[in-house]
Amino acid sequence: MKLMRVGEIGQEKPAMLDADGKIRDLSGHVSDIAGAAISPEGLAKLAAIDPKTLPELQPGRIGACVAGTGKFICIGLNFSDHAAETGAAVPPEPVIFMKATSAIVGPNDNVLIPRGSEKTDWEVELGVVIGKTAKYVSEADALDYVAGYCVSHDVSERAFQTERAGQWTKGKSCDTFGPIGPWLVTRDEIADPQDLGMWLKVNGETMQNGSSKTMVYGVAFVVSYLSQFMSLHPGDVISTGTPPGVGMGMKPPRFLRAGDVVELGIEGLGTQKQTFQADI
Ligand code: ZN
């Protein structure tokens, strides 16, 4: 299933995309794409519905693909080829940092370049949405706790991230720095999360063209690993790192300016498109 949330900010309705690409209203069945609705039992109930029996919604603004996200956890330097372009070594264990959940926006919403920013950068990432509380889970069982996957744009301000002291969170958490969606694609639709093409364009020019094949620590490992340190809850999102081609890795480096348009996508998970604008 491709689950989504459609409507103006704060008024999104839960919905699913049917086989014909029509948006079908799920609000008669669940209050939101969140919590128990994305548990294994909740997803089984939604899968049993014939989409044709659901009211059709007109296309409009698409919201973040999941609500009630308590934690937005990111993995840094998780692609061997991206670590190389940043001049960093692949770490011996996953680098974990948090992105504030207040950064979450819809996949096509405008992204704000924060005040004082000169180094706003892009990162296409595979997002993992947790569907069942995970604590001390094994790598072999880890995918049982995953509701599905989404496109995640880990927008980053490199000066805030690395030149302003401390660790990375303040360069990752600015308002609108977390577009997720358009869809939460349930796990059954993705045969192998470690074999997905990933791409990103700025103003039509391809910047990133990679694959989750070069991810160092794969989805099952990361879910298991994180669950040794904290419980993962339904609706939590893990952004699993970016392939090469970010602006800071270019020679000379290239960063986003007001008016730039970024498009990104992952095989089977849909696409996003954002216009960047100044946060005045
Ligand atoms: Zn990232």
Of 10, 29, 57, the one marking the end of a domain is: 57
pLDDT in tens, 192-218: 999 999 999 999 999 999 999 999 999
Give the number of residues written for the chain. 280
Given a cut of 90, is residue 46 above it in pLDDT?
Answer: yes
Residue 230 belongs to a domain: yes
* Ligand 1 midpoint to CA 156 (Å): 8
* Ligand 1 midpoint to CA 123 (Å): 6
Residue 66 belongs to a domain: no
Give the domain extent around 249. 72-278
* Ligand 1 midpoint to CA 179 (Å): 12
* Ligand 1 midpoint to CA 242 (Å): 5
Residue 100 belongs to a domain: yes
Taking alpha carbons only, the member of 73, 75, 76, 82 closest to residue 214 is 82
Same domain for 90 and 48?
no
pLDDT in tens, 59-83: 999 999 999 999 999 999 999 888 8
Amino acid occupying residue 23: I
Same domain for 142 and 36?
no
* Ligand 1 midpoint to CA 110 (Å): 19
Output the pLDDT for position 86: 81
Same domain for 120 and 205?
yes
Same domain for 211 and 109?
yes
Residue 64 belongs to a domain: no
Output the pLDDT for position 242: 96
Same domain for 20 and 130?
no
Same domain for 271 and 157?
yes
* Ligand 1 midpoint to CA 241 (Å): 4
Same domain for 15 and 141?
no
* Ligand 1 midpoint to CA 86 (Å): 12
Given a cut of 90, is residue 53 above it in pLDDT?
Answer: yes
Residue 163 belongs to a domain: yes
Residue 63 belongs to a domain: no
Calculate ∠ Cα 103-265-54, nearest 5°.
Answer: 80
Residue 62 belongs to a domain: no
Higher pLDDT among residues 81 and 106, named by residue: 106
Given a cut of 90, is residue 152 above it in pLDDT?
Answer: yes
* Ligand 1 midpoint to CA 75 (Å): 6
Same domain for 101 and 193?
yes
Output the pLDDT for position 52: 96
Report CA-CA distances (Å) from 179 to 129, 166, 184, 213, 219. Answer: 14, 24, 13, 23, 20
* Ligand 1 midpoint to CA 268 (Å): 20
Residue 148 belongs to a domain: yes
Task: Extract the tokens encoding 134.
Answer: 């995970």
pLDDT in tens, 267-279: 999 999 999 999 9
What is the number of alpha carbons within 13 Å of residue 84 lying toward its C-beta? 9
Same domain for 77 and 142?
yes
Enter the pTM of the model: 0.97
Given a cut of 90, is residue 42 above it in pLDDT?
Answer: yes
Domain count across the chain: 2
Same domain for 263 and 175?
yes
* Ligand 1 midpoint to CA 82 (Å): 10
* Ligand 1 midpoint to CA 76 (Å): 6
Of 11, 28, 57, the one marking the end of a domain is: 57
pLDDT in tens, 156-176: 999 999 999 888 999 999 999
% pLDDT > 70, the chain: 100
Output the pLDDT for position 88: 83
* Ligand 1 midpoint to CA 219 (Å): 14
